[in-house]
């Protein structure tokens, strides 16, 4: 089964539980070791090609998240991934270690690529390695589409212990107020998501699918079943919806229906049969389909095993 999830930060499941129930997986907003108020307003701006945001990782901190938010999220009866962030490898490790014994957390997503805060000093691979030392839960590395060689970083993340990839995060962009010609965001620049990001994200998925043996959650401007099918063809195992949820909270059901139609119109029996087809090599396609099938079976098993350690 192709899982449809939300991109981290694009849905508050406790405010909109009905929307979360329409997902196969809910991904939390990024949590850091200490509480953060985030950046000053204005933090969101619409553009003609997508949305800019500069939230700045506002969150309650890992201790309060585990104490107050995690029990409430557990009541949603939806598999939960928790996104973690920080400003050093130790920050990521601290969050992962705290979450390691939480049975309600299936997977941890390492947000190593937020464009709205100072980047961690260490490379993504060092962050993955530090996290791997303190948890046996599945780890998905969320990479930036702005990396000079995203496939090389993905390979290094795999070698450091990542179990999967989330591709991709937003791209840094800017919008000006037409009247004042001043930046519309308080931080001047922010992360661009939506339709303009889709070709860039698709290229990252394609490159990393060819270079690694990791399952990939494809994201970046997906708003229709045709978009989702393109990401599967590029090599993604699952898809995540982001900006579209602000305009159409119930998009997950629609995208699933459209994906089924788009799949059958191309002669595929199931959406998963289209995985990797863009590579034009049956060997690559079969490898990506096998990876997707194995990850769907392995993730719950890994999550259960980590709580028994």
**Separation between Cα atoms, residue 215 and residue 217, nearest integer Å:** 7
Q: What contacts 24+ positions apart, CB below 8 Å, involve 97-102?
A: 97/134, 97/135, 98/62, 98/63, 98/66, 99/62, 99/66, 99/135, 99/137, 100/134, 100/135, 100/136, 100/137, 100/306, 100/309, 101/307, 102/66, 102/70, 102/307
Task: Give, to the nearest 10 degrees, the angle between helix 150-160 and helix 124-134.
Answer: 20
- Cis previous bond, 212, omega within 30: no
**78 noted as active-site residue:** no
- Tell me how far CA of residue 225 lies from CA of 6, 19, 229, 254, in angstroms: 15, 18, 6, 8
- What's phi and psi for 9, nearest 5 deg? 90, -5
Instruction: Decide if 107 contacts 138 (C-beta within 8 A).
Output: yes
Q: Tokens standing for 93? A: 């490790």
Is residue 246 within a helix (H) or strand (E), and if so which, with residue range? helix 244-247
Burial class (CB within 10 angstroms; exposed 0-12, middle 13-18, buried 19+) of 283: exposed
Catalytic residue among 10, 78, 114, 208: 114
Instruction: Decide if 276 contacts 206 (C-beta within 8 A).
Output: no
Q: Tokens standing for 145? A: 């589409």
Instruction: Decide if 136 contacts 161 (C-beta within 8 A).
Output: no
Burial class (CB within 10 angstroms; exposed 0-12, middle 13-18, buried 19+) of 297: exposed
List, by residue number, the catalytic residues: 114
């Amino acid at each position: 089964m192709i899982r449809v999830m939300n991109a981290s930060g694009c849905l508050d499941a406790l405010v909109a539980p009905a929307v979360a129930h329409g997902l196969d997986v809910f991904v939390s907003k990024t949590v850091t070791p200490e509480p953060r108020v985030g950046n000053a307003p204005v933090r969101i701006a619409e553009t003609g090609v997508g949305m800019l945001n500069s939230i700045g990782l506002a969150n309650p901190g890992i201790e309060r998240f585990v104490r107050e938010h995690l029990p409430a999220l557990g009541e949603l009866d939806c598999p939960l991934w928790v996104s973690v962030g920080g400003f050093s490898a130790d920050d990521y490790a601290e969050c992962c270690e705290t979450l390691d014994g939480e049975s309600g957390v299936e997977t941890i997503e390492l947000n190593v690529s937020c464009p709205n805060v100072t980047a961690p000093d260490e490379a993504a691979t060092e962050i993955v390695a530090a996290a791997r030392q303190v948890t046996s839960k599945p780890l998905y590395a969320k990479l930036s589409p702005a990396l000079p060689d995203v496939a090389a970083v993905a390979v290094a993340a795999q070698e450091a212990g990542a179990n999967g990839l989330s591709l991709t995060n937003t791209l840094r962009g800017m919008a000006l107020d037409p009247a004042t010609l001043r930046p519309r965001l308080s931080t001047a620049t922010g992360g661009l998501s939506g339709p303009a990001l889709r070709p860039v994200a698709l290229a990252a998925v394609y490159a990393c699918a060819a270079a690694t043996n990791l399952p990939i959650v494809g994201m970046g401007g997906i708003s229709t079943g045709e978009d989702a099918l393109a990401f599967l063809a590029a090599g993604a195992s699952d898809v995540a919806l982001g900006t579209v949820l602000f305009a159409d909270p119930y998009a997950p059901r629609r995208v699933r229906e459209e994906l089924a139609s788009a799949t059958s119109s191309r002669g595929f029996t199931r959406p998963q049969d289209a995985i990797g087809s863009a590579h034009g090599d049956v060997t690559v396609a079969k490898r990506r389909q096998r990876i997707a099938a194995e990850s769907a079976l392995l993730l719950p098993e890994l999550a259960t095993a980590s709580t028994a350690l």
